[in-house]
Structure 1
Amino acid sequence: MNISHIEAFCRVAELGSVSEAARQLECNRTSLSMAIKALEKELEIDLFNRTGNQLTLSEAGKAIYKDCENLIATYSRVKQTCRQVSSDFNAEVWIARDDSLPDNFWQNLAHKLNNKYPATSFNIVLASTGDLANLVDTKQVDYAFGVDYERVDDPNLIYQPLGKIRMMSICKKGHRLSQMRRVSDSDLRNAMQVSMAYLNEKDNPELQPFSLKYIGFSSFDYMLNTILIEDAWGVLPEPLIRHLLRDEQVAVIKHTYGLTQEDFCMFMASGTSEHPGMTWLSDKLSDFLFDF
């Protein structure tokens, strides 16, 4: 059984389109169709129902889809293990992070990481919380770190919780919401909100705006700046706003979900052998969250 045929089947099944799957896999559409037909011939069964240009999974396709995804993940793990045994490590590592933790903390970690592992080049990029898992899944980065709002059962990804992070619904001191003894859903819906915007096409209900009027940003820091200068509220991580809470520049909204907890995670692809630098980085992040 050819692993490339299985990958072709899984991507077309996931996307529902041969053209889109060919684009993502960077291959010819005809070659992709031939790969699927070869797999169907080998298994002696149709994996898709074909109606015009529409493709939907057949009952057989549905039955084997999960196993095929697991096969791809296992194949990746075997390849990575072989690279490890032969000492063929990447000299370059790409890391995505959100800005739920202070920038100066990340800058300090980045310098220490670089000095501790001089043989590896580290690229650290800022990304929206909602895009972290997708960036790893699509292999745009090797690892990602940030708030995990909605963990899903995905054989292609590993979610490693590093600690809990408190998320707070806040507004600027003096905002009418800060002066209310009890804030209702209706009060929030009718107040302007700053929310998290992301490019990942998969819907994440936890990141959908709650208010009728809102403005979205890809970073918590932009959200915070807007809350401080506009008549708006939003949900932000405690490490980013603790100093403002102490100075009473912002206030926690007295709403049922004014305070919640989420996991802060490391995301990586299934089958990836964890780079020792990432083990070190994970430990430092866990220590920070524990002490916080």
Structure 2
Amino acid sequence: MNVSQIESFCLIADLGSVSEAARQLDCNRTKLSMAIKALEKELEIELFVRSGNHVALSEAGKAIYKDCQNMLATASRIKQTCLQVSGEFNAELWIARDDSLPDELWQELAHTLNHKFPATSFNIVLASSGDLSNLVGTQQVDFAFGVDYERLDNPLITYQPLGKIRMMSVCKSGHRLTKLSRVSDEELRNAMQAVMVYLNEKDNPELQPLSLTHIGFSSFDYILNTILTEDAWGVLPEPLIRHYLRKQELAVIKHTYGLTQEDYCMLTAAGMAEHPGMTWLADQLNEYLFDF
């Protein structure tokens, strides 16, 4: 049994397809199938139930899946520790963030981060809130910051809440929904909604549209622009829209869930030692959120 076999087993289990797993691992499908068969032979049990091109975990596969994920997390932690000792650790960091906080804040933080820690190159990419955990879990990025809707029990990810962020169901001032003293679910369903969409294959009920007609974006900023220019409503983070509320360009919808709270988190790949720059960044974001 080796780490490569365990990685292949977990990826096939997640995707339900040997072909897709081979594509993502950039390896030959036959070679991947042989690796799984070798693992099954060593363990003396079938790990998958095969049906045409689709595979699903057997009862034995389900029983060991969590332990295999933990093994991968441990292997990653060992590699990171060795890199740290060799002096190659964190020469470059990839960071994903959503746009629930204003761009001006992120630009200021990014420039300060670069000056404070000149020995590290920081790559900051914008992503949908719904994709943050997947980007970290698949090791496409090292850290992620944003509204966390999932908080899955995933051994590949460490979640650190940095503060609460208030989410508001809003529409443009003058929208017909603002004229109602209490908005029902049915009235919301019959109004066009601008919603958050994401590439993560796992369903996320909190990001599913409520309205019968909707338009989806991977950015809160695009949702905001649509609400301001179209006859639509949507759920947006308070830091992004506070000045629009003060100028009375937006109004909070009087619905049961018009105001909710979510955790704003730092997501870290398991085994990734926290870079001092990320500690500094987390502290700055925590202070900013405290004002809300």
What TM-score, normalized to structure 2?
Answer: 0.97
Query: For residues 115 and 51 of structure 1, what CA distance do their matches in structure 2 show?
Result: 55
- Uncovered stretches (5+) of structure 2, i.e. residues with no partner: none
Structure 1 window deviating more from structure 2 (98-107 vs 38-47): it is: 38-47
2:80 paired residue number: 80
Q: Which residue of 2 aligns with 1:254?
A: 254
Alpha carbons 2:80, 2:89 under 8 Å: kept:
no
> Secondary structure at the residue paired with 2:87?
coil
Q: Which moved further from structure 2: 280-289 or 77-86?
A: 77-86
Distance in 2 (alpha carbons) for counterparts of 1:243 and 1:283 = 24
Query: Equivalent residues in 2 for 1:40-189 (5 A)?
Result: 40-189=40-189
Q: Which moved more, 1:77-86 or 1:190-199?
A: 77-86
| 1:32 shift after superposition | 1.0
Give, in whole Å, the separation in 1 of the partners of 2:134 and 2:14: 14
Q: Which residue of 1 aligns with 2:272?
A: 272
Q: Counterparts of 1:172 and 1:52 in 2: how far apart (Å)?
A: 51
C-alpha distance 51-210 of structure 1, shift in aligned 2 (>3 A): closer
Letter in 1 for 2:39: L
| 5+ long unaligned stretches in structure 1 | none
Partners of 1:143 and 1:262 in 2: CA distance: 19
> Can you list the C-alpha shifts for 1:6-33, whole angstroms capped at 9, x where unaligned?
1111111221111111111121112211
The one-letter code sitting in structure 2 at the alignment partner of 1:284 is Q
Q: Which residue of 2 aligns with 1:29?
A: 29
Deviations along 1:97-128, one digit per CA (max 9) or x if unpaired, are 11100111111000100000011111111111
- What secondary structure is seen at the aligned counterpart in 1 of 2:221? helix
The offset of 1:52, in angstroms, is 4.2
- Residue identity opposite 1:239 in structure 2: P
Matches of 1:207 and 1:174 in 2, distance apart?
Answer: 26
Provide the rounded CA distance (Å) in 1 between the counterparts of 2:250 and 2:30: 58
Q: How many Å separate the matches in 2 of 1:57 and 1:130?
A: 26
- Select between 1-10 and 279-288 the one with higher mean Cα deviation: 1-10
Deviation at 1:138, TM superposition (A): 2.1
**Post-superposition shift, 1:275?**
1.4
Once the two structures are superposed, residues 160-183 of structure 1 have per-residue CA deviations (whole angstroms, 9 ceiling, x without a partner) of 111100000001111111121100
Equivalence for 2:204: 204
Once the 2 structures are TM-superposed, how far is the Cα of residue 218 of structure 1 from its aligned partner? Answer: 1.2
* Seq. identity, %: 76
Segments of 4+ moved more than 3 angstroms: 50-54
